Amino acid sequence: MKYIFLLFTVFLFKVTLAQYKDTLLPVSGTSLFIREIGAGSPIIVVHGGPGLNHSYFMPHLNSLAKKHRLIFYDQRACGNSSGSLDSAQMNLKLFVEDIEQIRLKLNLGKVTIIAHSWGGLVAMNYASKYSENISALILSNSVSPKFGEFEKETNQRLKLRIPAEDSVLRSEILKSAEFKSGNLESYTKLFKLSFKPSFYYSSSLEKMQLILPVDFLAKRKNLFFMTKELSAYDFYSNLKNITCPVLVIHGGYDGMPLELSQKIQSHITNAKLVIIKDAGHFPFIDKPKKYNEVVARFLKQ
């Protein structure tokens, strides 16, 4: 899966670390790292990857915490969640059930879900099974429900945006002793370099907070248990089961074509599509104020 994204801007209001509530939540034989902020109707935020964690959302969604309880979490074998998992504990079904367990164990009732990139695949599967538990679903630059769809077009578009010097830098990082020894700073540099063509504003890359855990490489190995499952799937037929209101957000500069977001919208009965201009795959970083306004307006409606 070449194009499933493994994933600071000005504060709209001041947030101190003391305002975050961090916990480890036991679910289905593992522990998930949970970070909460704000109060009000709950929003569960599902990060991209697979293999990234919630850190790249911070603090770009924090203005939503004025009226909502934001629940960020690191998916199993990601970020600060437990990495002690075997092959039987690594599959898409369990990623889906983790959301339901978070909802139940935190006594959230009906929830809004904001899902980004690969997280959209997890969230769409959750919504197709548990739509009655969702007050609203927001799919932000989601990957396709079908393996490989629009992958060629996406890779071609991104490749055209990569300057020669970045290709050289990428090669240097991969050949470096630091990278080969598992130096996390080298991996962070590589990820950010890979994400660079996906931003509309060059300055946005520096606003991206990406924190890899010390055991990132060990946890990364767990993801290979899902290789077979994530190499052949088509969940389009499941989308008809989603009955909650759905907002599909597409960054106009995303490497993934608009046709993908349009197709996802067309397969969901109660779905609306909003295009955010001058924003790429991470619209909440490129255009945080606009992104949060779009989300807040949808939730108010």
Distance of CA 158 to the CA centre of its chain: 19
pLDDT of residue 5: 39
- 112's enclosing H/E stretch is strand 111-116
Range of the domain at 37: 17-150+201-300
Residue 210 lies in a domain: yes
Residue 215 lies in a domain: yes
Residue 54 lies in a domain: yes
Distance in angstroms (rounded) separating the CA atoms of residues 82 and 29 = 10
Distances (CA, A) of 218 to 144, 211, 242: 28, 15, 36
**For residue 1, pLDDT beyond 60:** no
pLDDT band at 83 (very low <50, low <70, confident <90, very high): confident
| pLDDT single digits (tens) 17-54 | 448 999 999 998 899 999 999 999 999 999 999 999 99
pLDDT of residue 19: 87
Distance in angstroms (rounded) separating the CA atoms of residues 140 and 248 = 6
Query: CATH no. for residue 127?
Result: 3.40.50.1820
Distances (CA, A) of 84 to 96, 165, 205, 262: 19, 39, 32, 39
**Mean predicted confidence (pLDDT) in 212-225:** 93
DSSP-derived secondary structure for 198-248? G-SSGGGGGG------TTHHHHHHHHGGGTTGGGS-B-GGGGGG--S-EEE
**For residue 187, pLDDT beyond 60:** yes
Q: Write the DSSP symbol of residue 14.
A: -
| Alpha helices (H) along the chain | 92-105, 118-130, 151-159, 164-175, 177-180, 184-195, 216-223, 258-266, 283-286, 288-300
Structure tokens at 221: 């190995």
Amino acid at 220: R
Distance in angstroms (rounded) separating the CA atoms of residues 159 and 193 = 12
**For residue 204, pLDDT beyond 50:** yes
Residue labelled with tokens 């946890």: 219
- Collapse the DSSP code of 101 into the 3-class scheme (helix H, G, I; strand E, B; otherwise coil) and give the result: helix
**Mean predicted confidence (pLDDT) in 211-221:** 93
**Mean predicted confidence (pLDDT) in 216-238:** 94
Residue 58 lies in a domain: yes
Question: Global pTM?
Answer: 0.92
Distance in angstroms (rounded) separating the CA atoms of residues 45 and 116 = 8
**Mean predicted confidence (pLDDT) in 203-208:** 96
**Mean predicted confidence (pLDDT) in 155-180:** 96
pLDDT of residue 6: 39
Query: 42 and 4 in contact (C-beta within 8 Å)?
Result: no
Residue 135 lies in a domain: yes
Distance in angstroms (rounded) separating the CA atoms of residues 114 and 69 = 12
Residue 266 lies in a domain: yes
How many domains does the structure of the chain reveal?
A: 1
Residue 193 lies in a domain: no
Residue, of 16 and 272, whose pLDDT is higher: 272
Distance of CA 206 to the CA centre of its chain: 18
**For residue 4, pLDDT beyond 90:** no
Residue 196 lies in a domain: no
